[in-house]
Chain A
Amino acid sequence: MIQVFKDVKVDWLANRRVFIAISVLLMLAGLGSAVVRQWAPGGTEAFNLGVDFKGGTVVTVRFKQRPSAEAIRDALAASGASDAVIQPVIDKPDVVLIKIPLAGTSDAESQAQIDLGRSRVRTGLNKFGTEGDAYEIIGTDAVGAVAGAQLRNKAIAVTLAALVGILMYIAFRFEWTYGAAAVIAVFHDVLVTLGFFSIFQWEVSLTVIAALLTLVGFSVNDTIVIFDRIRENRRLHRRQSLYKITNDAINQTLSRTVITSGLVFLSVLAMVLFGGEVLRGFSLALLIGVIFGTYSSVAIASPIMVWWEQRIAAASKTSATVANRSATGAARGPSTGGRQPLPSGAGNRSRGAGRA
């Protein structure tokens, strides 16, 4: 039997300060990039938003004999589209994306601009030969400013709503501290991934949002596998501390975590390499997301959950010595009223922490 890990005994929680410091640094780097880019004069914007969110036109052109990006830019500038961005497609040498940003904000303006931009691109490209002969427009995407803003708001709302849904499910299946810890970890993953997109100015499109939501699901998966194990171990070993139980759970599930993440990483890598230009933003976001989603389950979600549970346990202990039991129940919520460990059941919650 081949095994990645044999009987690991790492004290993960001992390093929690290091982990959290790394994550905070990463998030600050992303945030810093976004803030600096947004407010520094003459700089780019926080995110390189695609036409989906900002409005504008993308024309996909296939050339028989592709001119240099310079030549295309000059030809377009001569026909009046001087703000066009020329982007060659990595895996298709004969295809070029021509992006024309929107300047106005009102819909009437943007509509006129879109039509004008497109006719200018045609005029510019005609310098290289006639359409259908020297070049072929194989795709266009044009989004007005208002539609762009609508799509953007919708994407943010959907992401937040999905997070709330996950929080509620985990709170229902486990405890609300588990749910909160998982959601904080996932939020961290989304922020770090977005940070990369800001730092490297990769384009944020609708599919990137889909990738972020997938990453949310994936990262929560990882966290749940560990939490499930913690729940199970608490039932088996009532007398052990939550600290030890959590460390054991992470170690026991480590091979699964590494294998699964490795496999998802491989299939996403296949998507980055072979999935073509349209899926590139999506697969890049997922590639980063898989790494940080795995990391955060071990390094963020678990420490936060343990820390929180320990604080609650400590608080209830002091209050139990001072006041009567009903006050304790109120402070910790109705579901945790019974402090005697029950024999079994999903709702069972034996306070391992502080009991060792």
Chain B
Amino acid sequence: MKKKNLLQRTILIVVITLIGIYIVIGPRHRPTLHDFTWSGIKANLAANIKLGLDLKGGSHLVMRVKTDEVFKNLTLNDASAIQTIAKEAGFPVKEVKAETTGGNYRIILESTDASKLNDIEEAVKKKVDLSEWTASPSGNTIVWTLPASAQTTIAEQATEQAQRIIESRLDAVGVAEPLVQRHGSHSSHQILVQMPGIQDPERVKQLLKAESKLELVHVVSPPSPAPVQTYNTEEEAKASLGGTVPTNRRVLPYADRNEPTAGGQASGEQNQPPKKWVIVESPAIINGSELRSAAATQAQGGGDSYQISFALKPSGADKFGAWTGANINEYMGVVLNDEVKSVAYIKGQIHDQGEISGRFTKQSAEDLALTLRSGALPAPIEYLEERTVGPSLGADSIRSGVRASLVGLILVVLFMLFYYRGSGVNAVVALILNMILMLAGLIIFQATLTLPGIAGIILTIGMAVDSNVLIFERIREELRSGKTIPSAIEQGFARAFVTIIDTHVTTVISSLFLFVFGTGPLRGFAVTLILGLVINLFSAVYVSRTIFMWELSRKRKMESLSI
């Protein structure tokens, strides 16, 4: 009976060990002779274990979508649309105001004739999609407010859209195996991007961040052949509009300036030609969503100067063609990210072609074309966290981590063998099995091994051996109190087991909190520690017990126990 039990236990342990070894160093392809050589084992190990960015090198970016900008733009656009429609329909409108401060977004329409309010509201509703807004007419004003529930939905949509655009940009620029996911609580509108081993993190960072909001607008100016109307300061431009900018006008900077390369140099520190300002009509004739294609092409002057040629979708081309046809000799501006890049006068009807000139380099023109093709971000994004680890730093970290683990392991093994003699071998076997199964666990659960994760492994070495110390000390005590060897072993395990469970559960509790609520590095640490502790219940208790049983069964009567 005893013998059979022992056999079962031994078979179970051997099978689990072999499976563990296979998972850790076994190939994921048909095995060849090479898989049994040292270099083959190393290659398989490297292929099986997923390393974190801090160990293999790469970039980790946390960004936030500035959702309040979405509300602001929505408010301003809808306000100007309401004004245009109400005026075109000939309603008595005194003014349309947009309020975008303090988290409140409101459009206020004031009419001179209170009796026409309902008609105005109906007329506007037909032409502008105001489904998110709540309208409340009173006196001679209509106030549209954006309720909190609508804000939540819009912000959520914007974040999802930003995430899709970021994914397509990463894809277009050729980043291998990027990870894009939501980060933190949903209402924080954060996106996490992890890119392993990229060459130029700065460039990718700028590419992801590029708003690439393209608009074609009507520049308010006397028609050609007079030069386009520009102003030297923003105030000057505003003054020409009578002090305040009406809802259907925008004052935008206009500068024919050098584009910073997306490779990084902050544009603020470069010498730029002085900015000028122009007044444009709002809303734009068409925007970037009507874009069919965009590509970097060499500018007509040739040389190092580049421009972006774009083509419009049929719907956009119709709109654009109709407008240009009606506005020959007027000025049109190409606006990128709220800055007028170029102004051209309309010689004849244009349908679906256009270009953005602005002295781009080849790289910056290609990057801009790429971001234009992927679409404009619904709102600007800002980086909250950026961490980049070069491959050489990662390799250093692996080296120090492995070295520290080995030194710790060797010290512990030497002590156990010295102090507990024969039984120390039990502990050492248990410890090594624990290491193998922990790595196997990491691979099974597809968890990434990070530097704090290695720290968790080192700590597991210390804590795993504690179980053996507890058991051995207990067995010694029982022996001292005069028990026979088999019953001392039995009692030692039984008594120590209660303690081991309690200590393991408390540590798992604190690690679970780290895992569930912690961020990046904290989680990697918690994963290895939890895995190590759970496996330890098997290796330090079950396996070690089986080795003792095995020793007992070999001799009919055991005279002494090496402990």
**Docked-complex contact A275 and B455, CB < 8 angstroms:** yes
Contacts A141-B387, A221-B466, A266-B412 given; does A162 touch B514 at CB 8 Å: yes
Cβ of A267 within 8 Å of any chain B Cβ, yes or no, is yes
Contacts A210-B521, A221-B463, A279-B455 given; does A136 touch B390 at CB 8 Å: yes
Contacts A1-B476, A161-B513, A221-B463 given; does A142 touch B458 at CB 8 Å: no
**Docked-complex contact A221 and B412, CB < 8 angstroms:** no
Cβ of A147 within 8 Å of any chain B Cβ, yes or no, is yes
**Docked-complex contact B404 and A279, CB < 8 angstroms:** yes
Bound together, the chains give a CA A291 to CA B455 distance in angstroms of: 18
Cβ of B1 within 8 Å of any chain A Cβ, yes or no, is no
**Docked-complex contact B382 and A111, CB < 8 angstroms:** yes
B214 to chain A, nearest CB (A): 23
Bound together, the chains give a CA A286 to CA B399 distance in angstroms of: 21
Cβ of B503 within 8 Å of any chain A Cβ, yes or no, is yes
Nearest-neighbor residue (CB-CB) of B525 within chain A: A210
**Docked-complex contact B469 and A260, CB < 8 angstroms:** yes
Can you list, as one digit per residue, whether each of A229-242 has a CB less than 8 Å from chain B (1) or not (0)?
10010000000000
Which among A91, A107, A270, A276 has the greatest number of chain B C-beta atoms within 10 A? A270
**Docked-complex contact A225 and B499, CB < 8 angstroms:** yes
Cβ of A214 within 8 Å of any chain B Cβ, yes or no, is yes
**Docked-complex contact B466 and A166, CB < 8 angstroms:** no
Which of A146, A225, A267, A276 is close to B384, meaning CB atoms less than 8 Å apart? A146
Which of A161, A263, A275 is close to B401, meaning CB atoms less than 8 Å apart? A275
Report the stretch among A29-37, A38-46, A150-158, A323-331 that lies at the interface: A150-158
Cβ of A259 within 8 Å of any chain B Cβ, yes or no, is yes
**Docked-complex contact B514 and A213, CB < 8 angstroms:** yes
Bound together, the chains give a CA A44 to CA B113 distance in angstroms of: 66
Cβ of B131 within 8 Å of any chain A Cβ, yes or no, is no
Nearest-neighbor residue (CB-CB) of A264 within chain B: B462
Can you list, as one digit per residue, whether each of A246-275 has a CB less than 8 Å from chain B (1) or not (0)?
000000110110011011101110110111
Report the stretch among B227-235, B339-347, B504-512 that lies at the interface: B504-512
Query: How many interface residues does B have (CB within 8 Å)?
Result: 76
**Docked-complex contact B509 and A264, CB < 8 angstroms:** no
Which of A1, A150, A157, A162 is close to B509, meaning CB atoms less than 8 Å apart? A162
**Docked-complex contact A166 and B459, CB < 8 angstroms:** no
A53 to chain B, nearest CB (A): 12
Contacts between chains A and B (CB distance < 8 A), count: 230
Nearest-neighbor residue (CB-CB) of B563 within chain A: A1
**Docked-complex contact A151 and B519, CB < 8 angstroms:** yes
Which of A165, A166, A275 is close to B404, meaning CB atoms less than 8 Å apart? A275
**Docked-complex contact A217 and B511, CB < 8 angstroms:** yes
Residues of A within 8 A of B499 (CB): 224-225, 228-229
Residues of B within 8 A of A154 (CB): 517-519
A217 to chain B, nearest CB (A): 4
Cβ of A200 within 8 Å of any chain B Cβ, yes or no, is no
Residues of A within 8 A of B64 (CB): 107
Residues of B within 8 A of A115 (CB): 266
**Docked-complex contact A267 and B458, CB < 8 angstroms:** yes
Query: How many interface residues does A have (CB within 8 Å)?
Result: 78
B497 to chain A, nearest CB (A): 10
Bound together, the chains give a CA A271 to CA B409 distance in angstroms of: 11
**Docked-complex contact B466 and A260, CB < 8 angstroms:** yes
Bound together, the chains give a CA A62 to CA B563 distance in angstroms of: 50
Bound together, the chains give a CA A210 to CA B386 distance in angstroms of: 21
Can you list, as one digit per residue, whether each of A156-184 has a CB less than 8 Å from chain B (1) or not (0)?
01100110011001100100000000000
Cβ of B184 within 8 Å of any chain A Cβ, yes or no, is yes
Identify which of residues 281-307 in chain A touch chain B, using a CB-to-CB cut-off of 8 Å.
282-283, 286
Residues of B within 8 A of A274 (CB): 400, 403-404, 407
Can you list, as one digit per residue, whether each of A97-119 has a CB less than 8 Å from chain B (1) or not (0)?
00000000001100110111001
Cβ of B118 within 8 Å of any chain A Cβ, yes or no, is no
Cβ of A335 within 8 Å of any chain B Cβ, yes or no, is no
Residues of A within 8 A of B294 (CB): none
Contacts A207-B521, A210-B522, A270-B411 given; does A140 touch B511 at CB 8 Å: no
Bound together, the chains give a CA A91 to CA B404 distance in angstroms of: 13
**Docked-complex contact B400 and A276, CB < 8 angstroms:** yes
Can you list, as one digit per residue, whether each of B453-485 has a CB less than 8 Å from chain A (1) or not (0)?
011001101110110011001001100000000
Contacts A107-B382, A207-B455, A274-B400 given; does A267 touch B393 at CB 8 Å: no
Bound together, the chains give a CA A210 to CA B515 distance in angstroms of: 10
Residues of A within 8 A of B383 (CB): 111, 114, 142, 144
Bound together, the chains give a CA A81 to CA B327 distance in angstroms of: 52
Contacts A154-B519, A221-B466 given; does A264 touch B459 at CB 8 Å: yes
Residues of A within 8 A of B521 (CB): 206-207, 210
Which 4 pairs of residues, A with B, have the shortest CB-CB distance?
A276-B400, A267-B408, A264-B462, A217-B507
Q: Could you show 15 A-B contacts with beta carbons less than 8 Å apart?
A: A2-B419, A119-B266, A138-B390, A140-B388, A143-B385, A144-B383, A158-B518, A161-B517, A162-B513, A210-B522, A214-B525, A218-B507, A224-B499, A273-B404, A274-B403
List 10 additional contacts besides A91-B400, A266-B462; criterion CB under 8 Å.
Answer: A141-B387, A143-B385, A144-B385, A146-B384, A170-B506, A210-B452, A221-B506, A221-B507, A224-B503, A275-B458
A interface with B by C-beta (< 8 Å)? 1-3, 60, 62, 91-92, 107-108, 111-112, 114-116, 119, 136-144, 146-147, 150-151, 154-155, 157-158, 161-162, 165-166, 169-170, 173, 206-207, 209-210, 213-214, 216-218, 220-221, 224-225, 228-229, 232, 252-253, 255-256, 259-260, 262-264, 266-268, 270-271, 273-276, 278-279, 282-283, 286
